[in-house]
Chains A and B, each alone.
Chain A
């Protein structure tokens, strides 16, 4: 009682007489995220007086000395001391205490730190994903990670990307393994909302051996966002609206130029001119202008994340609606996602988490690739044709493929929908100190529905797209897979300095798929509106049904042991054993071993750290991984061939059974032997971080499908096929360098610069049983343009070599005859090189004329923060790749690129562009005339943002508000004359051939991020 009295008296005096003490209040937040922090200790220095922050990060301390020093401390953050100077409001921000080197890096069935990791790893964090805000998360890997190449399959909305890690190593499937929250994920990245992604980690070397037979193409580990512990719910709302346009329209001939050159073609062939009366040319249709539009892309994303002391949670939902830059009504993509993540410590020793997301994708598509695509038609159709002429009869003959692209769009009807539910459930039990057991069940369930309708339509006599009757095709496919992991981890320190981490476990994977297909004709009113199996009334052979069932299983055991001695000598060994339903009895199980080692030199006394160098680590890895994407049951003879004959009085078809593709009982996984030597350095107060890697991957036992085989094995029978045999070797080697410099100059200004470079040197070193493999397509009816052959890069271009243009008949006669190419050369024709020196130009003179693999890829990324402004720019470049221009239809009357205006018309007029002619020439044959330099530099994203002052926001209850403007695919510097130098099917043999690629759109975006 007396004490209270005294205190009150004291306070009274303080307040009234000396004003020495007062109540203070304030809030504590995370400097990086701006999120309020719960449970921060706030203590008046030198006293026992103190409190902790509440759920909203707020605190109140009564009666504090005016000049007292407040100490804010919180686990994982730097302790902050503030000396009072009379104010009563303290809004402080705590800075994270973790060094970048201590960042957790997921490595599969466990994690490591940047400091101690001994494998080659690239990571892309949520900041980069937020800066780039890609529609497809794969885009965030482009230019941000050394050694990772991402090429979109198309610019059409909803198109997936091909991801390749350290080059193309196989003629088969080169896609990396994607592990989403620990479970194998075979769906496209398009089904994942990029804003849900916390980090993407790429394992590039033998460290991925923990994934054994599925790791040879590299492993992409994706972790999704979780809530933060001890944090009140943070509600984020992110939205943007973008306007998209094509980055380029090809320079084509206008109607006058077209008439001029077409007449010249006929004149050069000694034929009558098709256009004699120029006044009859009424149209000058800009077909590209007709098909390209500027649609919007709109994204909305809401998330709620937070956590208590023992539990964190995350909810999010998003919707994306993207139109295509060609025919947005018929080419578009809508994605709706919802996800939930919960993670709770049930007991000190038991953690349970669940993570589920649902995605609904809907898309419509137009013919967007290759011969017959809308853009192919827009490029090739004559400008003298009216946009309204749906049936091209009566106009100039454009061959059987080229049709009015607008009519084609109008007659395209389809609807693709997929519903996917993916997730994982995990329990971690620390049953004895340092002994942890993890059980995890991950699953993917997806259902795909496709509906296509082909209306009865006549594009003109003989056109291949003509439909004499309409048809509806339906298909439904269900896929389900699960990954069940059970592994035990022991983490213990022996003899004070030896840290040991031992993991032993098993994984079970099963994938099952089923599908039903059906087609019907006779859709009422020739309308998509009635395009269903039930309503269609067609009869006859085109009413078809089909189905499939697929089943795949894999069982794996794995172990990893990691040693760290004196925090500087690092060694780990990995072994995994896989069995799989794809492996035949002759090769039932596979073992994949690897070792990695590291030496943190700066921990050595004789090197030590200095102001200049802060960290240096030498590391290396060596081991074997496999690729089991070899097709199901190839080792087994199945009765899935075709057996159809005609029996009986009525000559009816009789179906029987016959062997399908020839089995190869010895079929096995591809083996990749990977070597990596790396150096990680940090300089200048850790502001400059350098990583260097040398790698060499040798992929052996490449699976060569349908390898040429003797006819005595019956492989030419209907429905049969030559076997798939392990018969090749490809080596990729190169270096990777990445430089990061980030600097906080002062409270107002910080910046970071990132540069990375990687090289790939690809060489096929062995093919058994065949001198080479061919693939790809150039023009129509020509020999395959791409080859895989020993001593050369996989998928190199194989064609004729040119040597200028014949300027005169004398030059023609002085040169070996080109007649065997199908046409006798004349002045103005391309002069081909007699490569084999046999005195005649034939297809035997074909040779290496380029390859689609870039020698060097680079990324350069910048970001600045000044006060409330931020700016970022991402760019990447490919150097030394070639690309084949193959979007010009080889037909007399089609439109042409403007470059043809510079054609040869007489001696000395051109040494690069051959004459035009309606007659037979060899100029159309695949040669380096069609091969262009595919090098480019692309400014991928430029973004400029402004964050509203937090003080002002507080009054309206908001934590942060940012508005930004962004341009995606802003500019591409390239010599290439097509739409996009990244055009490629991605095929290992036959890639890099541009058949009229749907270009990636340029997008102008305005966005808003709000947190409350």
Chain B
């Protein structure tokens, strides 16, 4: 009897053992999905990840429009004095650490750094022909995003070897501006030798892109010799100002036909073929800045309507000589235009400090085109991030301010003047410096450079209304970031 009992129990136990699973049963991979563990095992993985890093460039529209609003070039505009309140505050220079839009600058650019670092972290996983070019582009992109971050925020946390990991916000400090620049320069110096002089395909970074960026990075540190060396190489790399050959018209410089032209040193690519929504502006494949800069309630020829932000000031408009072709190129005088063409438009924000001026940023307002989804978010205008005119002026500035070669500097400046329909001038020394500064403003208005040019040359406090020296040179670290860091990151001075 007892025997049978044990026999039966043994049988049951065996049965249990046979049908029981081990913990391996739950060890499954997400079906048909790539995971981080199995990524970067083929050449395509690297190429595909590179697309992801480029993707974030499109989100830098925010740097451009907000940089422009921060400067003395433009008013915030919009529907009312509280429309996109973060921009309005920046225009008045009353922004605080609580500002969603400044937070977006932080988040979007760090997202770019993160995606680039993800590739760099895995760069040694496999080898294949052409990997150096890809890694070099990645380094260029990371430098681009980091340069934006250091311009906006000063000291930032850095981790050259790879991605930040959860928890490191409380341990990795904000590196000094010098260290951040060293990191950026290192990425660019590693990138330049491996980058192809000709873009692998239109839209991708070239050797000159990285050299121009490196030159700019040096210029921002007043390292004029190093800047001039890099920028001169770019000047001699075969670029050409648009409109200097008969079949081109300088007035078309910001039209589609001049995208990725001979003037383009590095251009951020946008398209209108995919829709977008307000819940993820950084996801748009279009240039969000453009719709936001459009004329409110516009109905007329050539342009499309938009949200009426980023309005050039009267003072900006008046800074152009009448004969300067760039006046028409850069600024749309809506009242004159409406009188000529019968176009109609609506005036939004009428606040004297941030509101309607009658002028629009003609370089980046929507042209009539076929775009999908919310038309205001999907404009295809490429952002001319680094163009040859900018390179010429930066080179001139380095040569002049570094007392290296005023003659060459003057030549570069005159190239830019001539293209704008202005005659040569002949000045040198500090007069030339002033002319370079003036030409930088006139040439690059509406492109997001002015604020940072004023800051790096120490002219911001005198030019920008409300600018507090010792404070507004950089923007505040978003309050939530300060909180996340649990005391690891200190706020920028006086915020």
Contacts and interface: CB of A to CB of B under 8 A. Distances in A.
From A642, A662, A717, A769, name the one whose CB has the most chain B CB atoms within 10 angstroms.
A717
A568 interface: no
Contacts of A643: 48-49, 51-52, 55
A647 B23 contact: no
Given A662-B166, A716-B104, A639 B34 contact: yes
B273 to A, nearest CB: 6
Contact of B110 (A508, A583, A714): A714
Interface stretch (A39-47, A630-638, A805-813, A974-982): A630-638
B163 A486 contact: no
Contacts of A716: 59, 104, 107-108, 110-111, 282
Given A710-B169, A711-B103, A711-B111, A506 B35 contact: no
B285 interface: yes
Interface stretch (B232-240, B459-467, B479-487): B479-487
Contacts of A580: 26
A414 B118 CA distance: 44
A645 B283 contact: no
Given A645-B54, A651-B380, A658-B52, A711 B106 contact: yes
21 contacts: A432-B9, A435-B9, A508-B25, A549-B31, A555-B23, A580-B26, A581-B27, A636-B30, A636-B35, A639-B35, A640-B34, A642-B55, A644-B51, A645-B203, A645-B285, A647-B51, A647-B203, A657-B49, A711-B107, A711-B110, A712-B113
A822 interface: yes
B36 interface: yes
B56 interface: yes
B20 A506 contact: yes
Interface in B62-109: 82, 103-104, 106-108
Nearest to B47: A656
Interface SS of chain A: loop
B120 interface: no
Contacts of A657: 34, 39, 45, 48-49, 51-52
Contacts of B114: 712-714, 717
B310 interface: no
B269 A720 contact: no
A645 B282 CA distance: 12
A138 B85 CA distance: 48
Given A541-B274, A637-B36, A643-B48, A581 B26 contact: yes
Nearest to B200: A647
A642 B274 CA distance: 13
B21 interface: yes
B58 interface: yes
B323 interface: no
Contact of A663 (B9, B27, B36, B58): B36
B23 A589 contact: yes
Interface string A675-712: 00000000000000000000000000000000011111
A838 interface: no
A656 B51 contact: yes
A664 B167 CA distance: 11
B280 interface: yes
B80 to A, nearest CB: 9
Nearest to A660: B33
Nearest to A651: B271
Nearest to A632: B30
Nearest to A643: B52
Contact of A723 (B39, B56, B110, B166): B166
B52 A647 contact: no
- Interface size class on chain A is 35 or more
A437 interface: yes
Contacts of B57: 645
From A588, A637, A645, A647, name the one whose CB has the most chain B CB atoms within 10 angstroms.
A645
Given A581-B26, A657-B48, A555 B107 contact: no
Contacts of B201: 647-649
A508 B51 CA distance: 42
A642 B273 contact: no
A651 B267 CA distance: 12
A655 interface: yes
Contacts of B52: 641, 643, 656-659, 717
B356 to A, nearest CB: 19
A550 interface: yes
Contact of B26 (A554, A639, A649, A652): A554
Contacts of B56: 717
A718 B202 CA distance: 22
Given A663-B36, A713-B114, A713-B164, A651 B269 contact: yes
Given A488-B12, A644-B55, A541 B372 contact: yes
B270 interface: yes
B131 to A, nearest CB: 16
Interface in A762-776: 769
Interface string A530-552: 00000000000100000001110
B283 A718 contact: yes
B348 interface: no
Given A508-B25, A716-B282, A432 B35 contact: no
Given A639-B39, A647-B202, A710-B485, A656 B55 contact: yes
Interface of A: 431-432, 435, 437, 484, 486, 488, 506, 508, 541, 549-551, 553-555, 579-581, 583, 588-589, 632-633, 636-649, 651-659, 662-664, 708-720, 723, 769, 822
A486 B19 contact: yes
Interface in B1-50: 4-5, 8-9, 11-12, 15-16, 19-21, 23, 25-28, 30-37, 39, 45, 47-50
Contacts of A720: 111
Contacts of A709: 166, 484
B115 A658 contact: yes
Nearest to A640: B33
B157 interface: yes
A630 to B, nearest CB: 14
A659 B36 CA distance: 8
A531 B33 CA distance: 32
Query: Ordered nearest first, which 6 A-B pairs have the shortest CB separation?
Result: A656-B51, A714-B114, A658-B52, A643-B52, A637-B36, A711-B107
Contacts of B259: 651
B21 A551 contact: no
Contacts of B419: none
Given A645-B57, A653-B285, A710-B484, A638 B35 contact: yes
Interface in B316-372: 372
B204 interface: yes
A653 B274 contact: yes
B143 to A, nearest CB: 17
A801 B204 CA distance: 55
A506 B28 contact: no
Contacts of A654: 51
B51 A714 contact: no
Contacts of A648: 201-203
A664 B165 CA distance: 10
A866 B44 CA distance: 81
Contacts of B21: 506, 508, 555
A719 B55 CA distance: 11
A649 B199 CA distance: 11
Given A658-B52, A716-B111, A637 B35 contact: yes
Given A432-B9, A712-B169, A646 B285 contact: yes
A714 B111 contact: yes
Given A486-B19, A643-B48, A659-B118, 18 more contacts: A431-B9, A437-B15, A508-B25, A549-B32, A550-B31, A553-B26, A632-B30, A639-B34, A643-B49, A646-B269, A648-B202, A652-B271, A654-B51, A656-B47, A656-B52, A659-B52, A711-B111, A712-B113
Given A647-B201, A711-B481, A717-B56, A656 B111 contact: no
B359 to A, nearest CB: 27
Nearest to A655: B51
